[in-house]
């Protein structure tokens, strides 16, 4: 009997200890842009890890559909808010809000600039609540090859991409100014080309364009000769964001997949995975299109123990192809079949949607 009582007490203790331990690890987290493509995957991860998550989104490129499965969960909150207006929130802020696809960010360059500048300033006011901020920056801050964190970049301040690349550059500057002057804890992730489910049908980036074109039997639109390169990572990138947020590394860290392909190779790969009879169509080169992009991820590997190995390229593409097939079915049932947005731009002319 006595043994049984001791066993019951110690098992109860273990449970209480577990509960207390779990409670101590729970963070109050805000994700700006949390209903977007990357943001919604990050929301899933943090919700699954048991945190309290507030998604902040103005639904310019984000969609409620991406996070609707969490609505009603006691740890989840969804706020329709534009970061250009202040908001005082939470222990940790993942600041992802910004259009990220070239046709989207060029559609309204002033809004892109405001989101990345005023929006970032507003989130840095987090100093008032002592929150730590992780900025989702971009490989576009580099402009040209090579891309290791020490390279300072070479971008065109008055070109069509400037609203995004300069916007992110100044966002990084703001983070470090607030860190030095006000003691705000900052983390900066320089994210390289990312793809996966929940990209918008009209996203306009190369992966969604090629997959939708291949699925619909339409020509795959290669801008320029297709010899420009990119290195694509699946959206399991979000594990890297969480590791970075919880590390003590305040300097910028590249997160990407170093496996580099030409865009033409990539078009052929998608065509073969979809088993599509689409042709490849060459269109004029986009203005200021970076010609080579491949991340140096030694820092992420060494300091975070992160590398994008969980979902290899072809497996990630197959998952994304399945996602877009379902999206096309969904749209067909809604009597509307969208076409990928014409994302190309003639040299010397602004790209509009």
Chain contacts with ligand UGA (rule: CB under 6 A): 100-102, 138-140, 192-194, 205-206, 209, 221-223, 228, 230, 263, 286, 289, 343
Q: How far is the CB of 285 from ligand UGA (least distance, A)?
A: 7
CA–CA distances in Å: residue 24 to residues 11, 18, 20, 28: 20, 10, 6, 11
Is the distance from CB of 47 to CB of 27 less than 8 angstroms?
no
* CB closer to ligand UGA, 289 vs 307: 289
Query: Are 56 and 76 contacting, i.e. CB atoms less than 8 angstroms apart?
Result: no
190 with 136: CB under 8 angstroms?
A: no
Closest approach, Cβ 94 to ligand UGA, in A, equals: 16
Could you tell me if 267 and 280 are in contact, meaning their C-beta atoms sit under 8 angstroms apart? yes
Provide, rounded to whole angstroms, the least separation between the CB of residue 204 and ligand UGA.
6
> Residues 107, 164, 223, 234: which is the catalytic one?
164
**Among the listed residues 309, 330, 203, 260, the one whose alpha carbon sits nearest the alpha carbon of residue 322:** 330
Parallel, antiparallel, or unpaired: how do β-strands 92-95 and 132-138 relate? parallel
Burial grade of 33 (CB within 10 A; 0-12, 13-18, 19 or more): buried
Taking the complex as a whole, the smallest distance from the CB of residue 102 to ligand UGA amounts, in Å, to 5
- Residue 7 or 59: the one with the smaller Cβ distance to ligand UGA is 59
In the bound state with ligand UGA, the residue whose beta carbon lies nearer, of 58 and 193, is: 193
Q: What is the DSSP letter of 303?
A: I
164 is catalytic: yes
CA distance 269 to 271: 5
Q: Nearest approach, Cβ of 293 to ligand UGA (angstroms)?
A: 6
**Between 123 and 220, CB nearer to ligand UGA:** 220
Identity of the residue, 184 or 267, whose beta carbon is nearer to ligand UGA in the bound complex: 267
List the catalytic residues: 164
């Amino acid at each position: 009997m006595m043994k049984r009582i001791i066993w019951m007490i110690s098992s109860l203790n273990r449970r209480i200890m577990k509960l207390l331990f779990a409670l101590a690890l729970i963070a109050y987290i805000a994700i700006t842009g949390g209903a977007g493509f990357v943001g919604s995957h990050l929301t899933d991860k943090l919700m699954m890890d048991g945190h309290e998550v507030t998604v902040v989104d103005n639904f310019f490129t984000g969609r409620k559909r991406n996070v609707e499965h969490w609505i009603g969960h006691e740890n989840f909150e969804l706020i329709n808010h534009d970061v250009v207006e202040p908001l005082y929130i939470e222990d940790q802020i993942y600041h992802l809000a910004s259009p990220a696809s070239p046709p989207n960010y060029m559609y309204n360059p002033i809004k892109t600039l405001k989101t990345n500048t005023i929006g970032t300033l507003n989130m840095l006011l987090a100093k008032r609540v002592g929150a730590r901020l992780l900025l989702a920056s971009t490989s576009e801050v580099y402009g040209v090859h090579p891309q290791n964190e020490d390279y300072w970049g070479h971008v065109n301040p008055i070109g069509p991409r400037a609203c995004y690349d300069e916007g992110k550059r100044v966002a990084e500057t703001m983070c470090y100014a607030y860190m030095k002057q006000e003691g705000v804890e900052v983390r900066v992730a320089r994210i390289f080309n990312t793809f996966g489910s929940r990209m918008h049908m009209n996203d306009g980036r190369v992966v969604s364009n090629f997959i939708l074109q291949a699925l619909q039997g339409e020509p795959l639109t290669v801008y320029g000769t297709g010899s420009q390169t990119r290195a694509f990572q699946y959206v399991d990138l979000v594990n890297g964001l969480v590791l970075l947020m919880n590390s003590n590394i305040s300097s910028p860290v590249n997160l990407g997949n170093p496996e580099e392909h030409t865009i033409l190779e990539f078009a052929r790969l998608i065509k073969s995975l979809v088993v599509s009879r689409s042709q490849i169509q060459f269109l004029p080169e986009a203005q200021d299109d970076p010609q080579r992009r491949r991340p140096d991820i030694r820092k992420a590997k060494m300091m975070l123990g992160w590398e994008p190995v969980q979902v290899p390229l072809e497996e990630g593409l197959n998952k994304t192809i399945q996602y877009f097939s379902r999206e096309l079915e969904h749209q067909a049932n809604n009597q509307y079949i969208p076409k990928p947005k014409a994302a190309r731009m003639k040299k010397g002319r602004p790209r509009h949607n």
